[in-house]
Structure 1
Amino acid sequence: MPSLSAPSRATGASDHTSADQARMPVPEPRGPLSAELIGTMTRDRDGADFRRAVAATVLPSGRDLLADEDLQLTLTLLYELHLRGITGVPDHREWDLDLLAARAQIERPFDEALGRADPVPGSAEDLIDALWAAGESDDGPPMSHFMARTATTEQFRELVVHRSLNQLREADVHTLGIPRLHGGPKATLIEVQADEYGGGRLDRMHAMLYAQTMRALGLDDRYAHHIDHVPATTLAGLNALSYFGLHRDRLPELIGHLCLVEMTSALPSKQYARGLRRLGFDAAATLFFDEHVEADSVHEQLVVRNLAGALAAAEPGARAGLVRGAAVCGRMDTFAAEHIWKSWQSGNSSLRLPL
């Protein structure tokens, strides 16, 4: 196995027993909005000034939200209040009315920027066919083949950092769909998510396996440790998932998003594991990807047919959202991959800061 120089934190077991280590660290601001939000939260100030700043900045501007570093970091922080929390920020800020109002002001144009998916399937079977078609679509750069055959160790480290903000909380946001479902679809989502959480075994939780991969690559595996490194193109996909997961009226989009994740994970995971073995890494580095080759081949059938298909049959109004969620997931994955690919093809790092 290659010898990598790693932070001292990355050399030991990933137990995450510290409350601070379980939270997102306070990042550096990327503009006036994220600076105002960070100051408001960390100094426990009234949120009215931040709400007014958002109204003045977002609504009239027509700016490109998906590529805007300041806005995407701001949205990430606002969502994190409902998830793991942020170091030094009181938990009661989760339900701060000014922060919620400001988030809603950002979400309206963000929702528009995520796009729509047409046409709406006319039946549950049409919905299932549409999801399979979405899973087979591949408009992005050939990332998985590149990682298998050509990528360097440093490029693997970058890719793993890009994915770390989501993978170190793997399954958590999709699990928010469980209390919003009932009957067969609920049982199916529980079955799939139980696998994601290792069937109750800490050492088999997929988030813990990802942390193991990070340590093998000499990376710090603390939750959101690399928030300052990842660009808006990565945060946009993270925020799309959080948006779907935290809104009950976006439940179909959340399920559609999960469908695409499960449909498009097995083959790339096989390629990533192959690439790591090519570079001399052992099973400690590849186990996360090896696990997804087998698990997601089973999960894709369950989520497409027994979850999304059953939901579409019981609730025809959910069909548009199911297809849209899958389309948005694919669109955001391509958006992030294109940034990484173009950076590497130009001989540059895809991260904002060096590792």
Structure 2
Amino acid sequence: MKTADAPSATPQTDGLVPLPEPRGPLSELLVGVLGAGPAGSRLADWEGLVDGADPFGEDLQLTLYLCYELHYRGLAGVDPEWEWDPGLLAMRSAAERKFLAGVRSSVSGGDDVQNALAALLTEPEGAAGLSGRLLDDRSWWQMQEFLTHRSVYHLKEADPQLWVIPRLGGRAKSGLVAVEFDEFGAGHETRVHARLYADLLTGAGLDAGYLRYLEHASAPALAIVNTMSLFGLHRSLRGAMVGHYAAVEITSSPACARLARALEELEAPEECVHFYREHVSADAVHEQLMRRDVVDGLLDEEPHLAGDVVLGLQAAELMEDRFAAHLTRAWDEGASSLRRPLAD
């Protein structure tokens, strides 16, 4: 395996990523207003742009990602007061409704939580997904692209799920806090999973700066994170957040085991392999906590949320399937799956 110098990426100011290039008329409107002045600046004429946007497309997904980022670390040169600007929240709310409607129309729904969980617990033979592809192909450039896409989540890993903690009680809350405590390194900075991913990026010859590859990541990669942010920020979707988090933990260990093996086959540095090896063992424990304590605990207290839990389980699978399809389609054509190739 060859590790090159970190390729060029979006420069940062004070650790924050600057506003990216728009990907359509809606994100162009948002970027223009956020970059032009303080909160309270006029944000108008967005209704038709939201109505006409593809719920899974580049324009709407970048718009949502930028709106949500104001609740995370913020954006360079953007007034922090935009986070709670009424006009911006109105536009975001409309974009969220568009996205959520697209998600709901793309999954089967229902309220049978145990059946939905069982579908995730059994991995069909030959259904190894992207991790299997990366293990079989042993292609370093494809691995780098995969790691680049994933950086828009893993550098804020477990942050979206924190929002649901005050919305839960009893066994569900204590179980989720136990999972999050582990995700954040159990009190050790060097073991925080987001830190481990930054180490992985460095080992892979990539830039470990927070959101340095936002310009490179495709809509399906952004949509994975936007789904978490959407569910986490809305108390009314707390059941969906629990279901989504359960799905992530249930499906993680087998995929991470394959990715660790793929990186070993590529003779990647130890810090690359370590990230996925850590998740093989950690997420096996998290799976049990999420099913036994968090999901069951939530439904014991609020059984009417069963349909939302199923929505979260299915939404997680939908987003991962769309992401895998995007990368596979590009790679089958010998093309880059990134919006900007890493050489740019």
Q: Normalising to structure 2: TM-score of the pair?
A: 0.93
Q: Distance in 1 between matches of 2:97 and 2:341?
A: 34
What's the CA shift string for 1:171-210, capped at 9, x where partnerless? 0001111111111111111111000001011110100111
Residue 161 (str. 1) matches residue 154 (str. 2): no
Instruction: Determine the structure 1 residue equivalent to 2:335.
Output: 348
The one-letter code of the counterpart of 1:174 is Q
What's the CA shift string for 1:278-316, capped at 9, x where partnerless? 111132111110000000111101101110011112111
Deviation of 1:234 (Å) = 1.5
Native 8 Å contact 1:197 1:205 kept in 2? yes
Native 8 Å contact 1:254 1:322 kept in 2? yes
What's the CA shift string for 1:23-63, capped at 9, x where partnerless? 3332111122212211211221566753x33202122x3x4
Worse-superposed segment, 174-183 or 214-223: 174-183
Instruction: Determine the structure 2 residue equivalent to 1:92.
Output: 81
The one-letter code of the counterpart of 2:34 is M
Native 8 Å contact 2:199 2:271 kept in 1? yes
- Residues 1:158 and 1:324: Cα distance change in structure 2 (over 3 Å): same
Residue 20 (str. 1) matches residue 6 (str. 2): no
Residue 39 (str. 1) matches residue 39 (str. 2): no
Task: Tell me the percent identity.
Answer: 37
Q: Distance in 2 between matches of 1:184 and 1:334?
A: 31
The one-letter code of the counterpart of 2:4 is S
Native 8 Å contact 1:33 1:53 kept in 2? no
Residue 101 (str. 1) matches residue 90 (str. 2): yes
The one-letter code of the counterpart of 1:131 is L
Instruction: Determine the structure 2 residue equivalent to 1:4.
Output: 3
What's the CA shift string for 1:261-280, capped at 9, x where partnerless? 00001011111111111111
Q: Distance in 1 between matches of 2:212 and 2:269?
A: 24
Q: Distance in 1 between matches of 2:8 and 2:24?
A: 30
User: Tell me, which stretches of 5 or more residues in structure 2 are unaligned?
Assistant: none
Deviation of 1:130 (Å) = 2.7
The one-letter code of the counterpart of 1:278 is E
Residue in structure 1 matching 2:120, options 107, 111, 134: 134
Instruction: Determine the structure 2 residue equivalent to 1:55.
Output: 47
The one-letter code of the counterpart of 2:6 is P
The one-letter code of the counterpart of 2:118 is W
The one-letter code of the counterpart of 1:347 is G
User: Tell me, which stretches of 5 or more residues in structure 1 are unaligned?
Assistant: 11-17, 122-126
Native 8 Å contact 1:65 1:72 kept in 2? yes
Q: Secondary structure at the match of 1:265?
A: helix
Deviation of 1:151 (Å) = 2.9
Q: Normalising to structure 1: TM-score of the pair?
A: 0.90
Deviation of 1:142 (Å) = 2.8
What's the CA shift string for 1:62-86, capped at 9, x where partnerless? x4210x2111111111111111111
Q: Secondary structure at the match of 2:34?
A: helix
Instruction: Determine the structure 2 residue equivalent to 1:325.
Output: 312
Native 8 Å contact 1:265 1:292 kept in 2? yes
Q: Size of the alignment, in residue pairs?
A: 337
Q: Secondary structure at the match of 2:46?
A: helix
What's the CA shift string for 1:226-284, capped at 9, x where partnerless? 01101112112221111101111111101100000000010111111111111111321
Residue 268 (str. 1) matches residue 262 (str. 2): no
Native 8 Å contact 1:196 1:206 kept in 2? yes
Native 8 Å contact 2:260 2:277 kept in 1? yes
Native 8 Å contact 2:242 2:312 kept in 1? yes
What aligned pairs does 1:216-235 form with structure 2 within 5 A after superposition? Answer: 216-235=203-222
What's the CA shift string for 1:86-134, capped at 9, x where partnerless? 111111110000000011111112111011543213xxxxx33431323
Q: Distance in 2 between matches of 1:78 and 1:118?
A: 27
Q: Distance in 1 between matches of 2:279 and 2:39?
A: 45
Native 8 Å contact 2:239 2:309 kept in 1? yes
The one-letter code of the counterpart of 2:48 is A
RMSD of aligned C-alpha atoms?
2.1
Q: Distance in 2 between matches of 1:102 and 1:342?
A: 32
Native 8 Å contact 1:256 1:326 kept in 2? yes
Residue 119 (str. 1) matches residue 106 (str. 2): no
Native 8 Å contact 1:178 1:189 kept in 2? yes
